[in-house]
Amino acid sequence: MGPVNWLAVVLAAALAVAIGIVWNGPLFRTGRQLLPGNSERAGGFVTVTIVFLISSIMLGHAFARIGAETLAVKPWLYFMQTGGIAIAFVIPSVWLTHLRNRTEPMRRVIDCAFWLIAYLAMGLVFWILG
């Protein structure tokens, strides 16, 4: 196992949070902004940051296990790993939660697309800094 790229871990999590701020703010105006004006909703920003940091640490460890040599020869593995986790685990969880809460279908699609984009962006950071 190679060393974990901690710079990539932190930057990947930061990029995913930044995408979330834009996605839920100016892009889709969902009304669920991550950076609200009052401290009541500030917990959402902290929670999302912690979730993405944990996910990024897990991805960093997975890429270290795969190894720099393999990733150099097969760079698509960055996106297969990150996109695969989003598609196989995160998106079904988000979808089922929205389904249970009877959220409208377009809202489900927008939220699931966010998680896929965020995870693929994390893969991009690991690839660039690989």
With 60 as the cut, is the pLDDT of residue 100 above it? yes
The contacts of residue 121 (CB under 8 Å, 6+ apart) are 12, 15, 16, 19
If one compares 88 and 2, the residue with the highest pLDDT of the two is 88
Q: What is the mean pLDDT of the chain?
A: 89
Residue 42 within a domain: yes
pLDDT value at residue 79: 97
Residue 61 within a domain: yes
* Confidence tier at 59 by pLDDT (50, 70, 90): very high
Q: Are 74 and 123 in contact (CB under 8 A)?
A: no
pLDDT value at residue 26: 67
- Count of domains observed in the chain: 1
pLDDT value at residue 22: 87
Three-state secondary structure call for residue 108? helix
- Report d(CA 69, CA 33) in Å as an integer: 40
pLDDT value at residue 61: 97
Residue 78 within a domain: yes
Residue 1 within a domain: no
* Confidence tier at 55 by pLDDT (50, 70, 90): very high
Q: What's the average model confidence in pLDDT over 21-29?
A: 76
Residue 31 within a domain: yes
pLDDT value at residue 80: 97
Residue 34 within a domain: yes
**Residue range of the domain that includes 84:** 6-129
Residue 84 within a domain: yes
Q: Count CB-CB contacts under 10 A for residue 49.
A: 16
Residue 16 within a domain: yes
The tokens for 61 are 């460890």
